[in-house]
Structure 1
Amino acid sequence: MLSRKLVVLAGLPGSGKSTLAEGLSRHFSLPLFSVDPIEAAMWRGGLPRDRTGIAAYVVAQALAEEHLRLGQSVVIDAVNPVEASRAAWRSLAEKYRANLSIIECICVDEATHRRRIEARMRQIEGMTEITWAEVEKRRTGYEAWIDARLTLDTSAHPPERLLAEAIGYLA
């Protein structure tokens, strides 16, 4: 990866974005900033749960900005459900003249998606796993993307193939 990139993985919880983000981070040896562990750390630090959602995105953006400022590429793992969070990534990429590469993970097969959520055990200290009902509620507030992006149906292909597609997209 020669040019500086801001790689943003997006999608509903359980859509496969964290698995893909970790694979890309390993493949390209890039730092990965994931909103969920950041938010859980804030809770462990004593911040109330109802105050950390947007703040966790701000922290991820600050960490990404520091790396971009140093000329490095980064991978972001976050739901990014609304235009405000997406605009912040666009602004950051523009500020540091980084190529913004968005990969949206979707899970078209609802039964697969639900199984993933119900079996999920990420072991993020202080964070309970989301329920299927909460995912369905989040889906109603998930705005359609307007940006150019790679959209991957993670229920249609094995993780190795999805990772290869994402690597090809970023190359």
Structure 2
Amino acid sequence: MLIAFGGLPGTGKTTIAQTLARKLAAVYLRIDTLEQAFIEAAGAAADIGPAGYLAGYGVAKDNLRLGLTVVADSVNALHMTRSAWRSVALEAGVQIFEIELVCSDTTTHRLRVEGRRADIPGHKLPTWKSVLERQYEAWESEHLVVDTANVSVEQAVDAIIHRLSMSSPEGRLL
């Protein structure tokens, strides 16, 4: 199964996706990590465009074809990227489970964005202003929405696992 996360920076995607991947013993794929590697290889001034996502789709497909569950962590802000993740799952012959994280409390969201520290060397984190100005298209596909404003990481992961068990054949976890 491909579990594709999305949501604005500061909503908890990385923390929740990593925790979920650990619990499921799944492959964890973070687009920020791939993009930062491309930036380091090409130079800080280089425009890498969609290279991180394109590499992510390929790595995800390889692992899905090996029979592994993949947890993909990215902002996934556009219909185009969400459609591409669905195509990856289709081509690999697996189900996709899409999750959008939101933070309905603006103050909490802002504090998270402004209080974060980069966990990838050289990674430039977005500012609150850039988060507000970011292009983010409304989701059209069926997906789970998790509001992280008032739930712990553990509660969010438990809710996701519960929904995964409901969507998998015979109610089994992956």
TM-score (ref. length: structure 2): 0.91
> Partners of 2:45 and 2:129 in 1: how far apart?
19
Residue 89 (1) aligns with residue 70 (2): no
Picking from 144, 149, 156, the partner of 1:162 is 156
Per the TM alignment, residue 69 of structure 1 is displaced from its structure 2 partner at its CA by 1.6
Q: Any stretches of 5+ residues in structure 1 without a counterpart? A: none
User: Given that residues 102 and 148 in structure 2 are in contact (C-alpha distance below 8 angstroms), is that contact kept between their aligned partners in structure 1?
Assistant: yes
User: Given that residues 41 and 126 in structure 1 are in contact (C-alpha distance below 8 angstroms), is that contact kept between their aligned partners in structure 2?
Assistant: no
Q: Any stretches of 5+ residues in structure 2 without a counterpart? A: 166-174
> Partners of 1:137 and 1:87 in 2: how far apart?
23
> Partners of 1:33 and 1:117 in 2: how far apart?
21
Residue identity over aligned pairs, in percent, reads 36
Letter of the 1:62 counterpart: G
Residue 78 of structure 1: aligned partner? 74
> Partners of 2:145 and 2:154 in 1: how far apart?
16
Q: Deviations over 1:60-118 (max 9, x none)?
A: 11110110121211000001111110111111111122110011000000000000000
TM-score (ref. length: structure 1): 0.92
Coordinate RMSD, CA, aligned: 1.2
Residue 62 (1) aligns with residue 58 (2): yes
Which has the higher mean CA deviation after the structures are superposed, 40-49 or 68-77? 40-49
> Partners of 2:89 and 2:66 in 1: how far apart?
13
> Partners of 1:98 and 1:151 in 2: how far apart?
21
Per the TM alignment, residue 44 of structure 1 is displaced from its structure 2 partner at its CA by 1.2
Shift in CA distance, 7/49, structure 1 to aligned 2, threshold 3 Å: farther
The runs of at least 4 aligned residues of structure 1 exceeding 3 Å deviation read 47-50
Shift in CA distance, 111/155, structure 1 to aligned 2, threshold 3 Å: same
Picking from 10, 18, 22, the partner of 2:18 is 22
Residue 131 of structure 1: aligned partner? 127
